[in-house]
Copies of this chain bind each other. A is one copy, B any other.
Amino acid sequence: MSQPFEAFLAQSRQQVDNALTENLPSPDQAGADRRLFEAMHYSTINGGKRLRPVLVYAAAASIAEDKVAQDILDRIACAVECIHAYSLVHDDLPAMDDDDLRRGQPTCHIAFDEATAVLAGDALQGQAFELLSTLDTLTPHTQLDLVRTLAQASGAQGMVGGQAIDLASVDKQLTLDALQTMHNKKTGALIKASVLMGAIATQSATAVQLQALSTYADAIGLAFQVQDDILDVIADTATLGKRQGADEALNKPTYVSLLGLEGAQAKTQELHQQAIKALENFGEGADLLRQLSAYIVERGH
């Protein structure tokens, strides 16, 4: 990977970390809600890949370099990451996936307690919408567009709906179509929202551009999940920071179980090509998005 792309990734991660620290309630004050704020901080400042924030920045650049104030993009990136973090905190709960470790660190309910983890997730979700409704230098129309895009992607018809389908799929034989529907909602919807929100923030994306970005996002969102299934089989626990083969152990259907390892790897390449094609009418500004697609299907190799 080229140096500028690596530098872009590192800088994006730094920016969203700084912005999360600035925009979430400070864990350094003395009130009785301090433990909640600490858990929110712990669950978001965690050395994650920050794929979704990175997509926000890259999508904005694909439409118009420097047309959006950096602090606006930072807060949008924060909002998206708050939604992602809340879903992980709740997903790790004993009643859900019952995971003790994430990225090699104790999960929120282990580091704190279950009640605090429930509340921290709840508060992170609310924080996302609060952030998007206070981007005062954008028009109300644009702010509302951002709120709507994130709410639809993360709610009952999006991410949470996908998690519900995932729960209902344990010990079931899913068709490839059904598996794809589940992942489109569970992971794909928020990835797509991240791309669209970066573009919406420029206040200058055309309907045609948004449609192309939508096609791009569908492809990389699915590629991300197929690659996740591949890594779950081939990577060891140290690299992943979670139990290897965890999905298999839960009898969850995966792309590898349905397509075989080679079939799944071919699928990621096919999706990568679809993503690149979707951007064919975009100029150099979309190079970051192109590189991100390659990054997604190459990660962990």
The answer to whether B115 touches A96 (Cβ under 8 A) is: yes
Residues on B with C-beta less than 8 A from A182 are 32
Chain A's interface: helix, strand, loop or mixed, by majority?
helix
Contact of A33 with B165 at beta-carbon distance under 8 Å, contacts A152-B130, A156-B126 already known: yes
One of B37, B95, B113, B114 near A156 (C-beta < 8 A): B37
Say how far A127's CB is from chain B's closest CB, in angstroms. 6
Chain copies in the assembled complex:
2
Docked Cα-Cα span, A115 to B118, in Å, equals 12
Residues on B with C-beta less than 8 A from A133 are 144, 147-148, 151
Docked Cα-Cα span, A36 to B165, in Å, equals 9
Chain B CB within 8 A of A154 CB: yes
Contact of A160 with B114 at beta-carbon distance under 8 Å, contacts A143-B144, A148-B130, A151-B133 already known: no
The answer to whether A90 touches B122 (Cβ under 8 A) is: yes
- A residues within 8 Å of B by Cβ? 24-25, 31-33, 35-37, 40, 86-87, 90, 93, 95-96, 109, 113-119, 121-123, 125-127, 129-130, 132-134, 139-141, 143-144, 147-148, 150-152, 154-158, 160-161, 163-165, 167-169, 178, 182
